[in-house]
Amino acid sequence: MVVNIGDRPQADFSQPLELLRDCHRRIEKFLGALQKVAEAGQTGPLDEAHRTALRTALDYFQYAAPRHNEDEEVSLLEALVEAGRPETPAAMNTIQRLAGDHRRMREIHRRIDDLGRRWLAQGGLGSAERCEWAELVEALGRLYLPHIAVEEQELFPTAARILDRAALDKIGQQMHQRRRANPGRPDSRCAARRQAEWPASERPGPEKQEYHRCETAGRDEQHAPPILENIRQFALPQRTTEMIPLDSTVD
């Protein structure tokens, strides 16, 4: 990982909200890579640099993005509900709305991944498929940019106000555990480091890692409950005086 002088240090699991912001910067980076590949693909075959950029971006969105969604839809949501503050319902509504974005993003990512892997395997795509791929990447950008803005300008500041140190530590621990159970691309440095963190007797094998990845990627269809079920399982505390109307890089 390249570190430039003056860059803000990378957040760690003791700073879960900042860590989520760091993930957004990587999402923007790899979304930009997809956009550059889309532009290059309109003029001819992809050179090796663009092929590498495409493969890396597809891998990132396949392995890391689902974990990020779970960080928000599960860990952050639970912490906000358990806090039971007056701001909780509005934050929950925000997460529910953002979860709808996540579902639409996953649908687009599946098609982008399908076409992108075929592009890499075959060395090219037909003109109609290249146009479809470029349109999908553009649609993804239209979803991600306002989505990230709402999280960073509304959701995360609310969470920072109402969550205490214990709640933030719990979120960070869950994020860490999520990445230990699902390290990411088997050949990545981050995956190797996370694998090394596990005691040998507890280290998950390839089959468990692959299952976890598939489970996370398919959570809408068959595995994890949708966001409304996540919300329903947490009971808001009763109030009597007020009415309650959400490399070294971690990815």
Q: Would 134 be classed as within a structural domain?
A: yes
Indicate the burial class of 243 (C-beta count within 10 angstroms; 0-12, 13-18, 19 or more): exposed
Q: What is the DSSP letter of 155?
A: I
Query: What CATH code is carried by the domain that includes residue 228?
Result: 1.20.120.520
Q: Would 155 be classed as within a structural domain?
A: yes
pLDDT at 95: 87
Q: Would 112 be classed as within a structural domain?
A: yes
Q: Would 4 be classed as within a structural domain?
A: no
Q: Which residues of the chain have pLDDT under 70?
A: 1-10, 183-251
Q: Would 124 be classed as within a structural domain?
A: yes
Tell me the C-alpha distance between 144 and 56, whole Å: 19
Q: Would 1 be classed as within a structural domain?
A: no
Q: What is the pTM of this model?
A: 0.74
How many domains does the structure of the chain reveal? 1
Q: Would 251 be classed as within a structural domain?
A: no
pLDDT tens digit sequence for 134-153: 999 999 999 999 999 999 99
pLDDT at 182: 73
Q: Would 242 be classed as within a structural domain?
A: no
Residue 199 is part of which domain span? 16-232
